[in-house]
A and B are shown apart, each in its own frame.
Chain A
């Protein structure tokens, strides 16, 4: 699951597509206005309901369309990663990246890297059938 800010990373992913770059198809992208707009509950819920990984991607520091949204998101995810680790979820399942609108290549490599890392962790088996 990917949460992409619509100003940078979503456009970057679009560029990757129009440039005909290939990257693993197992990410489904949700466009959000800003990385700071992502409610952390949604990330927690995605991980606890069985998604293998979550990738949050936004503008590089200093280039947020809303001036400082990505800084706030970074701080929040920093704490959230520590919390999920404490609750027993591997923090590598929650990835974050900075991808600008012109970085189609970077987007493709980020997805490749994230997919590879999460694949190594194996499928997310926090809750087994019957525990839900």
Chain B
């Protein structure tokens, strides 16, 4: 359903109106959206009744990827939910659909045009600087932003200069870089909880018979965690950078994720979260895959 274009405040009231209608008609049990908390910062909110829809907002600090909540038991026990999604969030939802974690009929996507989100300091987020998803590609409702104009959709390919910078370092220096980052990790697993695609019921790091990874922080264990977590997202990561944002010790997790996104694009020409009927590249194969490294 297309509606007319709005300014920022108009968009918020349009979101409220759509949510009210859905909740009143009993079409959804819950709307997952954004609200302003007491302290003034924006945070996710579950709205269960139409009187509360006034709390919903839209603005430049709606950074959270609400698709993350679709994997949580609290959402799964609800029959049907509506989720307010930016273009990048919709890609996570598509990735979840590809893997059978979300059934399209069970969710209502309220797509919202987004011209970029900003952090507390007002700087544009890294993932937004090269965004190609100002308008969600999949949606049931679309809230149109008057500021999104068509020219902004064709940005040139993804930007990897920081990844390439690291790639050019000698191997030992890179190891030093990652060891220094691993040393900071406190193993809070916020990266796992924030990631929309880390949905295992029991994470490998929680398995203790036998102990899979050392569970207390240590450089080696943290290094293993960083690497294994990243590899599990190879070919699946849609680049929402939630892991990076939620990390309390600011480990640049996006570097390793984007490295894999880049490799998967180079090797298999695949971009995660685009086509719901496509299979993730590491679960399929091609007879033409490169094999020059094989003896």
What is the bound-complex CA distance between A86 and B165, given in angstroms? Answer: 11
How many residues of A sit at the interface, in one of the four size bands?
A: 35 or more
What is the bound-complex CA distance between A98 and B294, given in angstroms? Answer: 7
Cβ of A110: which chain B residues have Cβ within 8 Å of it? 295
Check if B174 sits within 8 Å of A88, measured CB to CB: yes
What is the bound-complex CA distance between A83 and B228, given in angstroms? Answer: 10
Q: B218 near A: Cβ within 8 Å? A: yes
Could you tell me the distance in whole angstroms from the C-beta of A27 to the nearest C-beta in chain B?
13
The dominant DSSP class at the A interface is: helix
Cβ 8 A contact of B295, one of A77, A82, A85, A95: A95
| Contacting residues of chain B (164-220) with chain A, CB-CB under 8 angstroms | 166-167, 171-179, 204, 212-214, 218-220
Cβ of B219: which chain A residues have Cβ within 8 Å of it? 127, 131-132
Check if A132 sits within 8 Å of B259, measured CB to CB: no
What is the bound-complex CA distance between A131 and B287, given in angstroms? Answer: 42
How many residues of B sit at the interface, in one of the four size bands?
A: 35 or more
Check if B172 sits within 8 Å of A88, measured CB to CB: yes
| Contacting residues of chain B (251-290) with chain A, CB-CB under 8 angstroms | 256, 259-260, 263-264, 267-268, 281-287, 289-290
| Contacting residues of chain B (65-116) with chain A, CB-CB under 8 angstroms | none
What is the bound-complex CA distance between A45 and B225, given in angstroms? Answer: 10
Query: Do A87 and B256 contact each other (CB < 8 Å), given the known contacts A48-B220, A95-B295, A97-B294?
Result: yes
Q: B131 near A: Cβ within 8 Å? A: no
Cβ 8 A contact of B220, one of A76, A91, A131: A131
Q: A30 near B: Cβ within 8 Å? A: no
Q: B125 near A: Cβ within 8 Å? A: no
Cβ of B268: which chain A residues have Cβ within 8 Å of it? 75
| Contacting residues of chain A (28-75) with chain B, CB-CB under 8 angstroms | 40-41, 44-45, 48-49, 61, 68, 71-72, 74-75
Residues of A within 8 A of B (CB): 40-41, 44-45, 48-49, 61, 68, 71-72, 74-91, 95-98, 110, 113-114, 126-127, 131-132
